[in-house]
């Protein structure tokens, strides 16, 4: 029987096949329709394939305003550049946490791989008071991300937030997020306390297991959204499990969303796109 402090899954989603950018085939785990449930998180995409034709068209130049985009590349390489003169490559194990704020135009172009490409992109909303903040990046190499190795064989990479004595390198994010990448061996357990007022979800990358104290089972390719409480408890199945656990403080504001711009009102959206037309979008 679950204790009153246990987080229990209230929704399990299987995602849907989607085509984005110039023809990239990906799996959208949640998006526009689920925004009220996942606040402050707007969207989670799982992209990649063993066939370069599914992804090499990439995500050519496009604008962002009012959000943060978090790219976690699990395997392969993506080349990026933007309207501020930044550019480079994101390789396997690296994270780019981009705060678009007042506006940025960029492109992300996956490079063909001999084996496969796989990555995650999470969109995080910004509150009205921060939507027009100055754009910035937090670029993390794999070696920047602390990894906690448990005695039972599990490991936890801490991208943002804390686990045990480890603190993630992503700092000063408005929604006070935690972003953990967890690997568990067969029968391994993950028990972690989160902020009781934060939204919490898990996305299963590989394997399967039991993801709450009521015995809810599910496997790779699904997102689980937790209800209120403090403790997330997971037990891996026979194949072990790898999953991300993400939490953040809800914003609770209206969402006006068109394309890759997310504001609070339709008037703000109209202004953003009129600025794009008049070449005044970048501040």
Is it true that the peptide bond before 230 is cis, omega within 30 degrees of 0? no
User: pLDDT tens-digit profile of 255-273?
Assistant: 999 999 999 999 999 999 9
Q: Is residue 126 a part of any domain in this protein? A: yes
Q: Is the pLDDT assigned to residue 135 strictly greater than 70?
A: yes
Q: Is the pLDDT assigned to residue 139 strictly greater than 70?
A: yes
Beta-bridged to residue 253, according to DSSP, are: none
Q: How far apart are CA 22 and CA 55, in angstroms?
A: 9
Report the range of poorest mean pLDDT among 1-10, 48-57, 163-172, 188-197: 1-10
Q: Is residue 55 a part of any domain in this protein? A: yes
> What pTM value is reported for the model?
0.96
Q: Is the pLDDT assigned to residue 85 strictly greater than 90?
A: no
Beta-bridged to residue 39, according to DSSP, are: none
Q: Is residue 101 a part of any domain in this protein? A: yes
Instruction: List the structure tokens of 80.
Output: 């990026």
How many structural domains compose the chain?
Answer: 1
Q: How far apart are CA 9 and CA 79, in angstroms?
A: 36
Beta-bridged to residue 232, according to DSSP, are: 192
Q: Is residue 37 a part of any domain in this protein? A: yes
- Residue 225's domain comprises 9-278
Q: Is residue 145 a part of any domain in this protein? A: yes
User: How many beta carbons lie within 10 A of that of residue 50, not counting itself?
Assistant: 11
pLDDT given for residue 2 in this prediction: 64
Contacts of 147 (CB under 8 A, 6+ apart): 155, 156, 157, 158, 166
Residue 84's pLDDT band (cuts 50, 70, 90): confident
User: pLDDT tens-digit profile of 20-77?
Assistant: 999 999 999 999 999 999 999 999 999 999 999 999 999 999 999 999 999 999 999 9
pLDDT given for residue 138 in this prediction: 93
Strand 231-248 and strand 178-184: pairing?
Answer: antiparallel
- Which CATH number covers residue 65? 2.60.120.10
Q: How far apart are CA 181 and CA 204, in angstroms?
A: 10
Q: Is the pLDDT assigned to residue 12 strictly greater than 70?
A: yes
Q: Is residue 283 a part of any domain in this protein? A: no
User: pLDDT tens-digit profile of 202-218?
Assistant: 999 999 999 999 999 99
């Amino acid at each position: 029987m679950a204790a009153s402090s246990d987080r229990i899954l209230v929704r399990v989603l299987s995602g849907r096949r989607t085509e984005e950018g110039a023809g990239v085939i990906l799996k959208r785990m949640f998006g526009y329709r689920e925004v009220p449930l996942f606040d402050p998180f707007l969207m989670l995409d799982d992209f990649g394939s063993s066939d370069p034709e599914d992804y090499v068209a990439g995500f050519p130049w496009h604008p962002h305003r009012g959000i943060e985009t978090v790219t976690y590349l699990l395997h392969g390489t993506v080349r990026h550049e933007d309207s501020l003169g930044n550019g480079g490559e994101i390789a396997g194990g690296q994270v780019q946490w981009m705060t678009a704020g007042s506006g940025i135009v960029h492109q992300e172009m996956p490079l063909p791989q001999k084996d496969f490409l796989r990555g995650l992109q999470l969109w995080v909303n910004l509150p009205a008071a921060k939507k027009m903040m100055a754009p910035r990046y937090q670029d993390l190499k794999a070696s920047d991300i602390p990894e906690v190795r448990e005695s039972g064989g599990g490991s936890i990479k801490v991208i943002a937030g804390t686990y045990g004595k480890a603190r993630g390198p992503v700092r000063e994010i408005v929604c006070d997020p935690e972003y953990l990448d967890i690997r568990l061996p067969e029968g391994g357990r993950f028990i972690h306390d989160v902020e009781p007022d934060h939204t919490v979800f898990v996305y299963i990358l590989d394997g399967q297991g039991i993801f709450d104290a009521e015995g809810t089972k599910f496997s790779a390719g699904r997102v689980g959204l937790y209800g209120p409480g403090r403790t997330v408890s997971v037990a891996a199945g026979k194949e072990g499990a790898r999953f991300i656990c993400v939490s953040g403080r809800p914003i609770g504001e209206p969402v006006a969303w068109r394309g890759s711009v997310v504001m609070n009102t339709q008037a703000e959206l109209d202004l953003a796109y009129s600025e794009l037309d008049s070449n005044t979008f970048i501040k």
